Amino acid sequence: MTPALPLTIEDAAAALRAGAVTSTALTRTVLDRIARLDGGLGAYVTVCEAGALAAAAEADADFARGLDRSPLQGIPLVVKDVIATRDAPTRANSEVLDPGWGAGADAPVVARLRAAGGVLVGKSTTNEFACGLPDGTERFPFPRNPWNPEHTPMGSSSGTAIAVSAGLALGGLGTDTGGSVRGPAGANGHTGLKVTFGRVPKNGVVPCAFSLDTVGPMARSAFDCALILDVVAGHDPGDRHSSPLPAGRYAEGTRGGGVEGLRIGVPTRYFLDSPLLDGEVRGGVLRAAGELARAGATLTDVVVPHAREANDANNVTFLSEAFAYHRKNLVDRWDEYGRATRELLARAAFFTGADYVQAQRVRALFRRRLAEVFARVDVLLTPVSLTAAAPIASADMAAALTRPGFHGPWNAAGLPAAAVPCGFTSAGLPLSFQVVGRPFGESTVLRVADVYQRHTDWHLRVPPTARDGIHRRVAHQGDARASHTAREGAG
């Protein structure tokens, strides 16, 4: 009989070190869950069973001889299928990408996960080239939201998000160019962090937009995200955008204190006053702000100047840079792209060089104005998205480009931002709020999220499609979450 799966990396790491479970047993449990559940969810494009079991056996051998590489040792993880791995192809959900792209070599982030003892279970589903929409006519898996399979998992890192939410991995990596870590994390009910541009190396990752792309952790909790970030963050000379600034000690910083006296800016204009913002989303964000205020934070209404223009600038930049990367193939191999992807990328053919230059001027102005805002507050708190996960049948990328966007401004500015679960809609779909920080302020962003999660249990809820075989958290003495053991579903 396979053991029940722990809810979090933190819990699994403790169980491994206590000898309550082995990495081999934990990995077999995850592999069994993938075989049983993933046919209806579409989280994985490739499962690396033999390699995962070999890595798990190595982790168990390391534990047996007293070698502890990191808290990720022995933990089953997944990476988005735009990130190169030596033992599986990288396809980016496309017939266009060279099948040999990145073959035989790990991207630096993957090499770091392996060196830390992480167990790579497989590659997760993405939208084609991390843009566009899922295309049910292609041969790749079609991702579905585990809270309601008729609803979208919302974004190109959806495979990793589904895997975390449904217990098909305990954590993993996604990429975020215009919200593709935060959107799926929010829609699937767990935590996801978009890092400061340059904080995590992105060489060995299929490009989407070179001046916006980031690689970030996705896991059930903020603390789990910090454990992953501790491993993957830091300079790599192979990425010319990689920051030389030393990486922080993120897990330590996340648990390094409360939010007493922390100044949280809550921008109403653009973010909370849009007539398109769903009322249940707005209510969830305001309740989360109230919870943080009760924990000791100071809330203040702020204005984020030029947020709409920054979101537009992000869209122009993303589409222009993606078009530049794909231009020749769009001409030569148009029919091999999925319809949604080629139609999205082709829109950028109508932008001029002047449009792109103006977008960069807006980004620079926005960064300067944000510096003034962050002189008065420590973090910002906003919605993640206008609505909870939409029905698959209503997904419309063209319409999304014209609506207010709460992801893109922070990509345009290169700031860290986390999606944090904060409840459920009346239809049982996850709600989420966003914490945005200063450049390289990941520890503060994650600390705010962690404090909220020590007072609530929304991130510990399990979707109805995946309840069987999940271990419900046992509260520990002194744990602020003691009165919030994992409850299944929205009720």
Q: Do the beta carbons of residue 410 and residue 196 sit within 8 Å?
A: no
Concerning whether 385 is annotated as a catalytic residue, the answer is no
d(CA 402, CA 413): 19
Closest CA to 12 of 477, 488, 471: 471
Let me know if 419 is exposed, middle or buried by CB neighbors in 10 A (0-12, 13-18, 19+). buried
The 3-class secondary structure across 255-275, one letter per residue, is CCCCCCCCEEEEECCCCCCCC
d(CA 401, CA 407): 12
Q: How far is CA 480 from each of CA 2, 454, 462, 484, rounded to the nearest angstrom? A: 30, 5, 20, 8
Alpha-carbon dihedral 420, 422, 425, 428, rounded to 10 degrees: 80
Which of 70, 156, 221, 432 is flagged as catalytic?
A: 156
Q: Which helix (H) or strand (E) holds 373?
A: helix 353-374
d(CA 411, CA 92): 21
Concerning whether 80 is annotated as a catalytic residue, the answer is yes
Which of 23, 70, 80, 194 is flagged as catalytic?
A: 80
Return all residues near 100 (Cβ < 8 A) that are at least 6 apart: none
Return all residues near 454 (Cβ < 8 A) that are at least 6 apart: 479, 480, 481
Return all residues near 121 (Cβ < 8 A) that are at least 6 apart: 27, 30, 31, 34, 47, 48, 52, 76, 77, 78, 168, 169
d(CA 219, CA 217): 7
* β-pair partners for 76: 119
Q: Do the beta carbons of residue 148 and residue 427 sit within 8 Å?
A: yes
Q: What is the largest CA-CA distance in the chain?
A: 63
Concerning whether 156 is annotated as a catalytic residue, the answer is yes
Which of 94, 180, 243, 320 is flagged as catalytic?
A: 180
Q: How far is CA 116 from each of CA 30, 62, 111, 442, rounded to the nearest angstrom? A: 19, 11, 9, 20
Closest CA to 214 of 230, 198, 229, 228: 198
Closest CA to 159 of 82, 215, 220, 80: 80
Q: Do the beta carbons of residue 233 and residue 118 sit within 8 Å?
A: no
Residues carrying an active site annotation: 80, 156, 180
